[in-house]
Structure 1
Amino acid sequence: MSDPRPVLQVQGLTVSYGKVEAVRGIDLELRAGEITTLVGANGAGKSSTLLALSGLVRKAGGRVLFDGQDLTHLAPHRIVASGVVQVAEGRAILSTLTVRENLELGAYTRRDRGERAADMARVHELFPVLAERADGLAGNLSGGEQQMLAIGRALMARPRLLLLDEPSMGLAPIIVQGIFRTLREINRAGLTIFLVEQNVRQALKIAQRAYVIETGRIVLQGSGRELLDNPRVRQAYLGG
């Protein structure tokens, strides 16, 4: 169940690469317990927004507040420690390590073995194939299985806010449907999710709150259903 209070507030966020302004003073608000999505075309500024929230690219301006804590100038590892964890675009698994080792690395900041074992069991429940392939090399997994591993590794950090960058990229439609079902399941268990996604239809179907970004600016916002039915969104992203 969602909570009306904002758990993440983004105020006037700007991201620049040299003289190119990729994100232009945007405001966002994420509510606790909700899935919020940021959708738009390739190059619109979606990934730059997420990388800035994670501290992986420098913010040229603005503030990021998470549950009352100012994350604006924190290093990435401190942002993770605060409870904000990102699943990177392209999955970024460690292909020469086993599936189990990849998952264990997700919990590297946590020392309680019992909690880590419980979290591993939960990840295996969500993604049974990861239990079946636990001792195999992560690089031998299919694309869909690697995405499951990337999500599972993030969950091992016990995030309070999960950031996902293009989880459907390069995956077959049936695999994408399974990934999105899992995202709904972990959200129903209480995890707040911020989803950056080029698959606009799928993203808007599962999101309670949604934003559309074009050339670095937020141009529309509303519920996922409102934007799914919006004529401008349907014309630009859903084929009319």
Structure 2
Amino acid sequence: MSVLLRVRDLAVAYGHIEAVKGLTFHLNTGEITALVGANGAGKSTTLLALSGLLKPARGKIEFDGEDITALPAHQIVKRGVVQVAEGRAILTTLTVAENLVLGAYTRTDKAEIAASLDEVYALFPRLKDRADQFAGNLSGGEQQMLAIGRALMAKPKLLLLDEPSMGLAPIMVQEIFRTLVEINRRGLTILLVEQNVRQALKIARHGYVIETGEIVLADSGENLLANPKVEEAYLGG
């Protein structure tokens, strides 16, 4: 299995406070990897650093064999790393279709963009039904589908997802996670950041548990689910 993303000794600070303290981990091509932990553990900060939206205090980020540590965010997107931000960040005064097309802003082939749009509508039929509606009129779950769909329009090699289940009804959470499995089955590598530890580890091949900016456990998703420490700390055991 080839390594798509390799992170070495990644540290990120806000002023004098080190939020991420020397993380070392990797993602295998074509797998779902979960980064789980409590609120404030440093999960979102890690994703922002991988996206180029926060500059690391130290460490190295390699993507597809290239050092991307110092690259600006738009260059990282062009290389195929696309993030779905916590809180979705859709443009509520644009239609669903307009939001999706915006996701393809780094691409120029109109026929391929149209094909990607068809793929997103096949994955999320609700979005097709609401294509001409303003995105602000969608439910929370539909907005999350739109945010994921917009990210897919960029044709990513790696999808970074920050808390996709946050604030959603349980039935919608199940639907979102089923779709993530389907997207991964089609070959997309996913890094999933989640407070919903059970759901994340159920679909992840590998998982890392982060506490106060440090990785404290690393194993297969299955083994972490069965780990008494994880059960006690995160699964209500």
Shorter-chain TM-score category?
over 0.9
Residue from 218, 230, 234 that aligns with 1:233? 230
1:129 aligns with 2:126: yes
Shift of the alpha carbon at 1:5?
A: 1.4
Q: How far apart are the structure 1 equivalents of 2:66 and 2:94?
A: 35
Residue from 91, 101, 111 that aligns with 1:114? 111
1:146 aligns with 2:143: yes
Question: 1:140-164, CA deviations, whole angstroms, 9 ceiling, x for partnerless residues?
Answer: 0000000000000000000000000
User: Which residue number corresponds to residue 155 of structure 1?
Assistant: 152
Q: How far apart are the structure 1 equivalents of 2:189 and 2:150?
A: 16
1:38 aligns with 2:28: no
Unaligned regions of 5+ residues in structure 2, if any?
none
What SS class does the counterpart of residue 117 from structure 1 fall into? helix
Q: How far apart are the structure 2 equivalents of 1:44 and 1:28?
A: 16
What SS class does the counterpart of residue 158 from structure 1 fall into? coil
Residue from 191, 195, 203 that aligns with 2:192? 195
Q: How far apart are the structure 2 equivalents of 1:207 and 1:172?
A: 21
Unaligned regions of 5+ residues in structure 1, if any?
none
Shift of the alpha carbon at 1:7?
A: 0.6
1:207 aligns with 2:204: yes
Shift of the alpha carbon at 1:58?
A: 1.5
Q: How far apart are the structure 1 equivalents of 2:223 and 2:4?
A: 22
1:57 aligns with 2:54: yes
Q: How far apart are the structure 2 equivalents of 1:164 and 1:183?
A: 10
User: Which residue number corresponds to residue 79 of structure 1?
Assistant: 76
Shift of the alpha carbon at 1:109?
A: 1.1
Task: Give the TM-score of the pair, scaled to structure 2.
Answer: 0.99
Question: 1:86-114, CA deviations, whole angstroms, 9 ceiling, x for partnerless residues?
Answer: 00000000001110000000001111111
Q: Which runs of 4+ in 1 moved over 6 A?
A: none
